[in-house]
């Protein structure tokens, strides 16, 4: 709050928003509108004869600018939404605009525009916006903490599990002839479940790291990526008697190949698992008008009901009919890494009509690559 010995203009009438002051080349007030009067100090009343910079302390430091305006080296000077708390607690907002008044020689015109009403509304909007930004930042910080925690936990578990996986394999191979059938079954259970646990932990690590990882986006060689994934899933394709239809060329898109491989592997393994008996799985891509390429996997399985579709990409949610082995992390990983790559994910499906899972990535250019 400004102390009382400081001069200041005081609003005399609330019906007028604009007021003016004229000052000479020495920055001394020559005249002013009646709306303004000195407030505080010994000379309460008229501003005439006072220093412009003493009355309007907002102009302290701007003296050089004011002289440039008088010398016609600068057109004008504006201070927007300057505000002061008055003694009665009222907050007054005003714009100050200084320009030369050439008709009267070397004279400055200061226009004072009371913008309190407009500024008060703007303050309310800004208040809400800033509170939202604070909440958003807090959420982001908590997410980072959770990711860091998940990363640490998964690493620790993986370190503990690795010797169990290795030991179970050794037991299976070395003790075949000397243990009972029951002991062999127990050893199998240990080996199988420790392998599965290891996969879950790997998935958790990818999920935890995706949001904070620093990666470089490059144009993708989608044909190679898909071929790599097909190779990995060859056993499943053969076991399920599946047919996989792949296009000869792909539109170019930006991405990070190791992650995009994960996306395809998730979509294709889901299609193999849930696409029905001897599924026909079609892959494709569509260049969209929004500058993205939509890559998709279509199966002819039983389809997914709308209420289940909305839960698909949420971590640890598995659908009722998804009774095959799985841990419910796959699609949530897909979503997180595709969003990190600047893309989107989704599904189109209806019961009895199969499903089309898609992910969209920023297009890299018009050229297609095989």
Partner 1 sequence: MIQKKICLVGDFAVGKTSLARRFVEGIFDDKYLSSIGANISRKVLALDGSDLTLLIWDLVGGEKFDRVIANYYRGSAGALLVCDLTRPETLDKLTGYASDFLGINPAAHLVFVGNKVDLTSERRIRDVSLAAVAERYHAPVFISSAKTGQDVQQAFETLGQHLLAGRVS
Judged by CB under 8 A, the chain residues 33 through 92 that form the site for partner 1 are 57-58, 60-65, 77-85
Please, which residue, 63 or 188, has the CB nearer to partner 1?
63
CB of 127 to partner 1, least distance (A): 5
CB of 131 to partner 1, least distance (A): 7
Please, which residue, 81 or 230, has the CB nearer to partner 1?
81
Helices 222-232 & 257-274 angle (0-180, nearest 10): 50
Nearest to 240 by CA among 266, 273, 270: 273
Task: Write the secondary structure of 41-110 as one string of H (helix), E (strand) and C (coil).
Answer: CCCCECCCCCEHHHHCHHHCCCHHHHHHHHCCCCCCEEEEEEEEECCCCCEEEEEEEEEECHHHCCCEEE
Please, which residue, 135 or 314, has the CB nearer to partner 1?
135
DSSP secondary structure letter of residue 28: B
What is the size of the binding site for partner 1 (CB under 8 A)?
A: 33
* Binding of partner 1 by 137 (CB under 8 A): yes
Judged by CB under 8 A, the chain residues 218 through 247 that form the site for partner 1 are none
Please, which residue, 94 or 264, has the CB nearer to partner 1?
94
* Binding of partner 1 by 188 (CB under 8 A): no
For 327, residues 6+ apart whose C-beta sits below 8 A from its C-beta are 196, 199, 200, 203, 316, 318
The burial class, CB within 10 Å (0-12 / 13-18 / 19+), for 108 is buried
Please, which residue, 92 or 101, has the CB nearer to partner 1?
92
Distance CA 308, CA 109 (A): 69
Interface pattern 106-125 for partner 1 (x via CB under 8 A): -------------x--xx--
* Binding of partner 1 by 214 (CB under 8 A): no
Furthest-apart CA atoms within the chain: distance in Å: 114
110 contacts 31 by C-beta, under 8 angstroms: no
CB of 74 to partner 1, least distance (A): 11
Candidate list 72, 102, 126, 212; residue touching partner 1; CB under 8 A: 126
CB of 82 to partner 1, least distance (A): 5
CB of 70 to partner 1, least distance (A): 16
Distance CA 306, CA 347 (A): 10
Please, which residue, 145 or 243, has the CB nearer to partner 1?
145
CB of 79 to partner 1, least distance (A): 6
* Binding of partner 1 by 185 (CB under 8 A): no
Q: Give DSSP secondary structure letters for 300-322.
A: -SS---HHHHTTTTSTT---TT-
Q: How many CB atoms lie within 10 A of CB 22?
A: 18
Candidate list 18, 104, 132, 141; residue touching partner 1; CB under 8 A: 141
Nearest to 22 by CA among 13, 31, 14, 10: 31
Please give the residue ranges that form the binding site for partner 1 (CB under 8 A): 1-3, 6, 57-58, 60-65, 77-85, 93, 119, 122-123, 126-127, 130-131, 133-134, 137, 141
């Amino acid at each position: 709050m400004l102390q009382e010995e400081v001069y200041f203009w005081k609003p005399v009438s609330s019906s007028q928003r604009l007021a003016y002051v004229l000052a000479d080349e020495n920055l001394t007030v020559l005249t002013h509108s009646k709306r303004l009067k000195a407030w505080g100090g010994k000379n309460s009343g008229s501003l005439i004869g006072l220093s412009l910079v003493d009355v309007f302390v907002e102009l302290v430091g701007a003296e050089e600018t004011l002289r440039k305006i008088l010398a016609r080296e600068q057109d004008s000077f504006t201070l927007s939404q300057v505000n002061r708390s008055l003694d009665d607690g009222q907050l007054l907002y005003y714009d100050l605009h200084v320009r030369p008044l050439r008709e009267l020689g070397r004279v400055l015109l200061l226009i004072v525009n009371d913008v309190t009403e407009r500024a008060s509304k703007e303050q309310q909007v800004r208040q809400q916006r800033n509170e939202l930004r604070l909440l958003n930042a807090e959420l982001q910080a908590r997410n980072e903490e959770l990711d860091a925690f998940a990363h640490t936990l998964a690493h620790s578990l993986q370190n503990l599990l690795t010797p169990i996986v290795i030991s179970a394999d050794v037991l299976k191979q070395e003790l075949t002839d000397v243990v009972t059938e029951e002991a062999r079954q127990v050893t199998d259970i240990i080996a199988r479940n420790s392998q599965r646990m290891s996969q879950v932990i790997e998935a958790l690590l990818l999920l935890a790291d995706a949001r904070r990882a620093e990666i470089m986006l490059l144009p993708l060689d989608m044909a190679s990526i898909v071929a790599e994934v097909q190779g990995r899933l060859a056993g499943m394709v053969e076991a399920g008697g599946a047919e996989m239809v792949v296009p000869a060329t792909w539109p170019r898109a930006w991405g990070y190949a190791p992650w995009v491989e994960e996306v395809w592997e998730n979509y294709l393994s889901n299609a193999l698992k849930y696409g029905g008996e001897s599924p026909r799985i079609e892959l494709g891509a569509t260049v969209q008008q929004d500058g993205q390429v939509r890559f998709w996997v279509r199966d002819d399985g039983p389809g997914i009901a709308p209420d289940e579709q909305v839960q698909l990409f949420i971590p640890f949610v598995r659908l009722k009919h998804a009774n095959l082995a799985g841990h419910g992390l796959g699609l949530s990983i897909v979503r997180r890494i595709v969003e990190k790559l600047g893309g989107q994910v989704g599904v189109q499906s209806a019961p009895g009509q199969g499903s089309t899972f898609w992910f969209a990535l920023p297009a890299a250019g018009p050229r297609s690559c095989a």
